[in-house]
A and B are shown apart, each in its own frame.
Chain A
Amino acid sequence: MDAKQRLEAPPAIDRKEGMRLLARATLAELAAAWEAIADKPDVAPVRGPETGLVMVRGRIGGGGDPFNLGEATVSRATVRLSTGEVGHGQMLGTDKERARYAAVFDALFQNAAHRPAIEALHRLIAARLEAEDRQKAEETAATRVDFFTMVRGED
């Protein structure tokens, strides 16, 4: 990475990436972010929150044609704000409350006045996930085998 790249701001989080992050948010993170929002709009349910199944697919040989691996529980919600925006929330698991929050924040993300607060929430979740993934990768790296030969030619 050269100096110019380092100076550039991280790429803006778009709606799709925001939804990815909201799907991984904890209930505590979501509830706290909702508490912190000033002049909350009214939220009307459009669909759900409801729990159902998604058939998870894999690929034959890892990269070939798809096959159906098995199902996973998914909770989803769609809401409409009194300001007009419609938001969708969906995530693995059976926690409908988290799905409803995710839908609310997806809707708020589309509202210019609320967007900065939601972007801050996105960054908060992203930072936690990055730290968790980093920790896992470091723990795995410590179990890497360093092979050595019993007789080395160069000594």
Chain B
Amino acid sequence: MYVAVKGGEAAIANAHRLLADRRRGDRSLPAITIEQVVEQLGLAVDRVMAEASLYDRSLAALAVRQARGDMIEAIFILRAYRTTLPRFGYSEPVDTAGMLVERRVSATYKDLPGGQLLGPTFDYTHRLLDPSLIGDEPVAAPAVKEPGEQVMRVSDILDGEGLIEGDGQMPDGHVAGDLTREPMEFPMPRDLRLQALARGDEGFLLALAYSTQRGYGRTHPFVGEVRIGEVEVELDLPELGFAVSLGTIRVTECQMVNQFKGSAKQPPQFTRGYGLVFGQSERKAMSMSLVDRALRTDEFSEDIVAPAQDQEFVISHADNVQATGFVEHLKLPHYVDFQAELDLVRRMRHDSLRQSMAR
């Protein structure tokens, strides 16, 4: 028998009212502004933009505030918001070689054109809590220096010798797929995998990347380069017949260089994994590039022996909005399902008891 039940309206309304109260917290403290979140919790904002797959700093900051700092909740809210907007089109591919670089480091070449630019990094800090940040002590303006030569792409250096594979090419006539428009299918081409990884959960990709380093699908990686900076977004306007710039976005790019022994078909050379992420997030970009390389088993005739190499496993579980939806739905009322199972278990016990007594 199926019995529909209803109720809880007042409880839900009051729960949401309580949520609003707890979100605001102590009223004697000033409320944080969206601008403050954008300026002072910028990397939280970046993570929300990357995993919501929507670049908008103010809206991401609003989501962080609304979610009380719960990142996945904020990502969920921003992801939901994007479904309310019409799609104007596809941008021209961003040119990361022309980036206004704010940080660029290479682990493969010490002296390379453009140099090692540390930028605003946590690297080399001592990770000690800083009591000066309890208050609002004045902060010195950044040091400045005359800029040096153009920052060259590391992949172009090795490319001259033919020791490294080129930038990724899809088969002739391939049109880049769009996960927001088509259902997922496996095997999934590399362009779609990159889209899925770019919005994948940072923690999940980090764990998978780490697993490859620990031997579960080892790829012998080096960071060719990591760069962070602003790139221009251009949109073709059919009414004008040319592409116009819409402004700039900050992205993080990682070129991972991987040793490859060669196969029956290919000579030994360095292969590559690629990471590109909205905002400043080199942990995510590096993880993405390691996982991208691990997933390219079919191109290099590699055996799939580890989770990070299994594209259906990786791509199907990388999206934290989907994951949280399915895990968290378990707390919603399952009264009828459970009653049915309870009844089933009772009958099974009764049957087995009767059988053992009969023996």
Query: If the complex has contacts A60-B168, A69-B195, A147-B111, are A137 and B147 also in contact, measured as CB distance less than 8 A?
Result: yes
Q: Are B178 and A94 in contact (CB under 8 A)?
A: no
Q: Is the CB of B94 within 8 A of A93?
A: no
Q: Does B212 touch A at the CB level, under 8 Å? A: no
Contact residues in A for B272 (Cβ distance below 8 Å): 61
Q: Mark B76-113, 1 if CB is under 8 A from A, else 0.
A: 00000010011111111110110011110000001100
Decide: B274 and A60 in contact? CB cutoff 8 A.
Answer: yes
Contact A139 B53 (CB under 8 A): no
> Which residues B256-292 have CB closer than 8 A to chain A?
272, 274, 276, 278
1/0 per residue, CB under 8 A from B, across A44-59: the answer is 0000001111111111
Chain A residues near B53: list those with CB within 8 A: 70-71
Q: Mark B40-81, 1 if CB is under 8 A from A, else 0.
A: 000000000110011110110000000000000000000000
Q: Is the CB of A93 within 8 A of B58?
A: yes
Chain A's interface size range is: 35 or more
Complex Cα–Cα for A93 and B247 (A): 9
SS class of chain B's interface: helix, strand, loop or mixed? mixed
Stretch at the interface among A5-13, A17-25, A32-40, A111-119: A17-25
Question: What residues on A are CB-neighbors of B50 within 8 Å?
Answer: 70
**Range of interface residues on chain B?**
35 or more
B25 within 8 A of A: no
Counting chain B CB atoms within 10 Å of each CB, the highest count among A19, A60, A91 belongs to A60
Asked if B354 is an interface residue, CB under 8 A from chain A, the answer is no
B167 at interface (Cβ–Cβ under 8 A)? yes
Instruction: List, in ascending order, chain A residues with CB within 8 A of B102's CB.
Output: 136, 140
**Which A residue's beta carbon lies closest to that of B227?**
A62
Chain B 246-260, CB-CB to A under 8 Å as 1, else 0, gives: 111101010100000
Q: Choose among A19, A62, A139, A145 the residue that contacts B167 (Cβ–Cβ < 8 A).
A: A62
Give the A-B contact count at a CB cut-off of 8 A.
226
Contacts A20-B244, A92-B249 hold; do A69 and B276 have CB atoms under 8 A apart?
yes
Say yes or no for A63: interface residue by CB 8 A criterion: yes
B121: nearest chain-A partner, CB-CB: A143
A57 in contact with B92 (CB, 8 Å): yes
Q: Please determine whether A53 and B82 come into contact, CB atoms closer than 8 angstroms.
A: yes
Q: Are B91 and A94 within 8 A (Cβ)?
A: no
Residue contact B246 to A92, C-beta cutoff 8 Å:
yes
In angstroms, Cα B274 to Cα A127, docked, is 35
- Other-chain contact of B194, A15, A60, A76 (Cβ < 8 Å): A60
Structural contact, B88 and A57, CB atoms closer than 8 A: no
Indicate whether A154 reaches chain B with its CB closer than 8 angstroms. Answer: no
User: Which A residues are in CB contact (< 8 Å) with B195?
Assistant: 67-70
* Bound CA span A62–B276, Å: 9
A-chain residues with CB within 8 Å of residue B307 when the two chains form the complex:
none
Q: How far is the CA of A36 from the CA of B153 in the complex (A)?
A: 45
Q: Which B residues are in CB contact (< 8 Å) with A51?
A: 85
Closest 3 CB pairs of A and B: A60-B168, A61-B167, A64-B167
Binding site for A on B (CB under 8 A): 49-50, 53-56, 58-59, 82, 85-94, 96-97, 100-103, 110-111, 115-121, 142-148, 153, 155, 166-170, 174, 176-180, 190-192, 194-195, 198-199, 233, 235, 237, 239-240, 242, 244-249, 251, 253, 255, 272, 274, 276, 278
List 21 A-B residue pairs with CB atoms under 8 Å apart, sorted by A's residue number: A23-B245, A54-B89, A56-B249, A57-B93, A57-B176, A58-B251, A63-B155, A64-B170, A67-B192, A69-B195, A70-B50, A71-B82, A71-B180, A72-B54, A73-B56, A91-B246, A94-B59, A140-B147, A144-B118, A144-B148, A147-B111
**18 other A-B residue contacts (CB within 8 Å) besides A54-B246, A58-B251, A68-B179:** A54-B87, A56-B91, A57-B92, A58-B198, A61-B274, A62-B276, A65-B169, A65-B174, A68-B176, A68-B195, A69-B278, A70-B199, A73-B56, A88-B240, A138-B146, A138-B147, A143-B121, A144-B115
